[in-house]
Amino acid sequence: MNITIEKTAYGQLLAKSQPKPILNEEDNDLALAEVDFLMSKEELTVEEETLLSLWGLLIEEYESKYYPDPEVTPRDVLLHFIEVRELKQADLVGVIGSKGVVSEVVNGKRAISKAQAKALGEFFNVNPSVFI
């Protein structure tokens, strides 16, 4: 599907918001304000959606360089899902193994196997790779 952008309208948006590479925290704050403004609108035009995507790319590039994600382990992901879904270890018995196996995985004494990652992916309805 090819999206047609009205050049004049998009040019006016670009002139108004002036997206550019983000070099410091002040630039990042201004970019985030532009995103907030666009996100607060009830409905976006194709041109506004395109501008929003551009701002998103610029922000992502800056923040990935200056705010790298902390190392997240498969166990961290599992603990997050358990917390968010308000589960107990007992809820995973039968999904990844016995009560003892679940306890060892949750407590970091045993790594999550590929078979367990696949089962967890199906259980939580996510890509199993997040548990590997």
Spatial separation of the C-alpha atoms in residues 110 and 123, rounded to whole Å: 19
Looking at the predicted structure, is the pLDDT value of residue 117 above 90? Answer: yes
Give whole-number Cα distances, 41 to 34, 35, 56, in Å. Answer: 11, 10, 16
pLDDT tens for 66-103 read 887 778 899 999 999 999 899 999 999 999 999 999 99
Q: How would you class 22 by CB atoms within 10 Å of its CB: exposed for 0-12, middle for 13-18, buried for 19 or more?
A: buried
CA-based R_g, the chain, Å: 22
**CA atoms within 13 A of residue 42's CA, in its CB half-sphere:** 0
Mean pLDDT of 54-62: 95
Neighbours of 59 (CB within 10 A): 17
pLDDT tens for 2-56 read 778 999 999 999 999 999 999 999 999 999 999 999 999 999 999 999 999 999 9
- What is the dihedral sign for C-alpha 74, 79, 80, 85? positive
- In this prediction, residue 1 has a pLDDT band, given cuts at 50, 70 and 90, of low
Which residue's entry shows tokens 């003892």? 100
What's the pLDDT score for residue 11? Answer: 96
